[in-house]
Amino acid sequence: MTTAVLEVKDLCKTYIINKRQNNVLRNVSFRIDKGEMVAVMGPSGSGKSTLLYTVSGMDKMTAGSVSFCGRDLADMSENDLAEMRLDDMGFIFQQMYMMKNLSIIDNIILPAVKSKKNKDSRRDIVKHGRELMHKLGISEISENDINEVSGGQLQRACICRSMINDPDMIFADEPTGALNRTASDEVMEELTKLNENGTTLMLVTHDAKVAAKCSRILFIVDGNIKGEYNVNRKLSLHERERGLNNWLLEMGW
């Protein structure tokens, strides 16, 4: 029996701008089961990032329900939501936000140091951070400042940071958007490995090459999910990309 990590029902998100109502998300429903890697695609302004921020509790919903590991986000206080994001979720963004006054390793371990749930000693936390860096092939930059490394290295450090508290799910907003193709491929290879090892991921992307490495794609237009595409990961990447691109053309991409 599959277990839903994220279950979304009739989700709506409305902004009031200059006294006018802007319905960014309209009755969105979907679920993501444990171990899935789901991409959200759609035209610019379709609501992709708003969807990710709302289902992860970073932004408040207007109506509907979002359940994360059985917990209803609407019933949680701001403090509880913040703790859930820190302890049970991981985040990767296009802009690689890190503290400029901290080394790479100190940036990676910061969520674990701040977590009330994590009872490990700082020594054990650092050890875990270094193990993650070793897995992602960036051990040599642990003591570097953030302006002393490449974009691809920094994004892999962000992946390490997202994993430091062993989250139930990682949310990624255009994680390869600021990278060149080589660095993008390297980062996606690491995210795919995480997924193959059991980590659940939801990522927003405009890149079909990135989305083809996921298990499922949700296509959103004007705040509505217009279609869903299941990827046959047994096919070669080229075949997956071709099939996905054909489907995206059918959807009006």
What was the pLDDT predicted at 1? Answer: 54
Domain residue extents for the chain: 4-250
Is the domain covering 4-250 a CATH 3.40.50.300 domain?
A: yes
Long-range contacts of 240-245 (CB under 8 A, 24+ apart): 240/212, 240/213, 241/208, 241/209, 241/212, 244/208, 244/211, 244/212, 244/217, 245/208
The first and second tokens of residue 91, run together, are: 């985040």
Q: Along the chain (253 residues), what's the average pLDDT of each consecutive run of 10 residues? A: 88 87 92 97 93 95 96 95 96 88 96 92 96 94 94 93 95 90 89 92 95 96 96 93 96 88
Q: How many CB atoms lie within 10 A of CB 89?
A: 22
Where in the chain does DSSP place strands (E)?
4-17, 20-33, 37-41, 63-68, 71-72, 89-93, 169-173, 200-204, 216-221, 224-230
> Cα-Cα-Cα-Cα dihedral of 166, 168, 174, 177, to 10°?
30
What was the pLDDT predicted at 19? Answer: 79
What was the pLDDT predicted at 42? Answer: 94
What was the pLDDT predicted at 117? Answer: 87
DSSP 45-83: TSSHHHHHHHHTTSS--SEEEEEETTEEGGGS-HHHHHH
What was the pLDDT predicted at 18? Answer: 80
